[in-house]
C-alpha cells in the first residue's frame, strides 16, 4: 500500500528564506521587463538560460551542491553563448544594457531557486500561495510607485489566467522536482523553456536577429542539452 506523504507547513524558522524568495521574485521580473525593452525578445529568451549558470554556481558556493563535469561544461557553453548575446554591435563592441538587465534577472532567480530549494520539503501549495501573493503584491506596489495604472478588465483577467498556468502551476511542479533533483538539476531541466520563447518571438514579431544570435544559438542548445541530461556521477 502506498503511504501518503505528509506535507510540513512553513514555520518561523523558514522566514529568512521566505522573505528572500519573495524579494527576489519581485526584483527579477522587473529586471527582465527592463531588459526586454533594451534587447530583442528572441535574445532575451535565450539569455534566460543563464539562470542555469547562476543557480548552479550559487548552489555550489553557498550550499555545497555537487556539480558534475557535464554540468560544468554546460555552464561554460551557456556562459559563452550569453556573452555573445550580450554584445551590442556598433563602431565598437560593447555590452547591451538590456542584456545585462536580463542577466541580472537570471542572477536574482538563481538565488531565488536556491532559497526555494531550502523550502522544498514544505507544503508546495503553501509556498506557491506565499510566493504568488507576496511577490505579486510587491510588484503591484512598485508599479504604482512608478506611476503605472491598472489595465482594462479583460486584459487583466487574461493575464491572471496566464499567470495561474505559467507561474502558479509552474512553481508547484518546480518545488516537487527540487525535492529529488536539487536546485541545480531542476533549473537545468527548465532549459528548454527559453527556446520556446525564442521561437514564439520569431513567429510573432518576425524580426530576424543578427548573426551573433545565430552564432550563439547552437552553443546555447548544446549547453542546455548537456545541462538537462546531466546526472550524478
Indicate the pTM of the whole model: 0.79
Cα(142)–Cα(153) distance, rounded to whole angstroms?
20
In a domain, 211, yes or no: yes
pLDDT digits (tens, 9 = 90+) for 203-224: 888 788 888 889 999 999 898 8
In a domain, 9, yes or no: no
Cα(53)–Cα(78) distance, rounded to whole angstroms?
7
In a domain, 7, yes or no: no
Contacts of 164 (CB under 8 A, 6+ apart): none
In a domain, 6, yes or no: no
Cα(135)–Cα(109) distance, rounded to whole angstroms?
13
pLDDT of residue 8: 79
In a domain, 3, yes or no: no
Split at pLDDT 50, 70, 90, the class of 2 is: very low
pLDDT of residue 6: 54
- Per the structure, the count of domains in the chain is 1
In a domain, 233, yes or no: no
**Cβ-contact 220, 43 below 8 angstroms:** no
pLDDT digits (tens, 9 = 90+) for 121-141: 788 788 888 888 898 899 889
In a domain, 171, yes or no: yes
pLDDT digits (tens, 9 = 90+) for 44-95: 888 888 988 898 899 899 888 888 888 899 889 999 999 888 887 654 555 6
Cα(44)–Cα(99) distance, rounded to whole angstroms?
7
Contacts of 135 (CB under 8 A, 6+ apart): 22, 25, 26, 29
pLDDT digits (tens, 9 = 90+) for 136-172: 899 889 989 988 888 888 988 998 898 888 877 887 8
What does the block give as the cell for 87? Answer: 554584445
Domain residues for the domain of 172 are 15-228
Amino acid at each position: 500500500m502506498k503511504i501518503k506523504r505528509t506535507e510540513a507547513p512553513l514555520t518561523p524558522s523558514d522566514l529568512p528564506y521566505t522573505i528572500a524568495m519573495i524579494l527576489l521574485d519581485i526584483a527579477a521580473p522587473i529586471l527582465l521587463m527592463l531588459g526586454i525593452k533594451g534587447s530583442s525578445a528572441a535574445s532575451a529568451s535565450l539569455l534566460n538560460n543563464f539562470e542555469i549558470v547562476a543557480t548552479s554556481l550559487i548552489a555550489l558556493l553557498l550550499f555545497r551542491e555537487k556539480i558534475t563535469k557535464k554540468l560544468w561544461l554546460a555552464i561554460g557553453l551557456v556562459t559563452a553563448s550569453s556573452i555573445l548575446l550580450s554584445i551590442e554591435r556598433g563602431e565598437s563592441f560593447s555590452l547591451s544594457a538590456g542584456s545585462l538587465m536580463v542577466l541580472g534577472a537570471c542572477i536574482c532567480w538563481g538565488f531565488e531557486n536556491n532559497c526555494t530549494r531550502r523550502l522544498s520539503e514544505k507544503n508546495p501549495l503553501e509556498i506557491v500561495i506565499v510566493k504568488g501573493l507576496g511577490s505579486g503584491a510587491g510588484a503591484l506596489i512598485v508599479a504604482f510607485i512608478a506611476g503605472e495604472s491598472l489595465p482594462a478588465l479583460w486584459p487583466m483577467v487574461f493575464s491572471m489566467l496566464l499567470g495561474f498556468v505559467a507561474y502558479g502551476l509552474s512553481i508547484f511542479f518546480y518545488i516537487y522536482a527540487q525535492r529529488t533533483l536539487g536546485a541545480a538539476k531542476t533549473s537545468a531541466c527548465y532549459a528548454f523553456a527559453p527556446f520556446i520563447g525564442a521561437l514564439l518571438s520569431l513567429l510573432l514579431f518576425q524580426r530576424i536577429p543578427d548573426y551573433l544570435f545565430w552564432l550563439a544559438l547552437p552553443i546555447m542548445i548544446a549547453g542546455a542539452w548537456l545541462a538537462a541530461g546531466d546526472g550524478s556521477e
